[in-house]
Amino acid sequence: MFRLSRGEKVRASEVRLRYRRVIPYREVEEALREGGGYLYFIEGVGRQTAYSAARRLSRRLGFAVEAHSASYGGRRGYVFMRGSIDELRRRLEG
C-alpha cells in the first residue's frame, strides 16, 4: 500500500528554493595534493555530502581524505584534509 505525500497550493513569493551544493573536486584535489598542510573548507555542505565527497576523493587521490565539521571566518561547513585528524593534531602540537 502506498502513502500519498501531502502538498498544498502556495504563492511563488512565499517559497525559498534550496539548491544542491556542488563540490569543486578538481580544486580540492589540487589543494590536498600540494601538501604543505593545507586544508580545504567548503561552506554550507551537509554531513552526508561531505562524507561521500571524502570517500570519492580518497579513491581518486589514492590516500585517505577526511571531512570534519568546522567554521571558518564565521561560516559553517566542512573542512577536507589529507590523513586523519590525529595526524593534524600531532603536527599542530609538535
pLDDT in tens, 25-39: 999 999 999 877 788
Contact between 37 and 55 (Cβ < 8 Å): no
**Considering the domain boundaries, does residue 14 fall inside one?**
no
Q: How far apart are CA 94 and CA 92, in angstroms?
A: 6
* Least confident window among 13-27, 38-52, 54-68: 13-27
In DSSP terms, which residues pair with 35 in a beta bridge? none
Contact between 78 and 28 (Cβ < 8 Å): no
Helix (H) or strand (E) holding 49: helix 47-61
Residue count of the chain, please give it: 94
Predicted TM-score (pTM) of the model is: 0.72
Which residues form the domain of 34?
24-93
If one counts the domains in the chain, the total is 1
Q: What is the chain's alpha carbon radius of gyration, rounded to the nearest angstrom?
A: 18
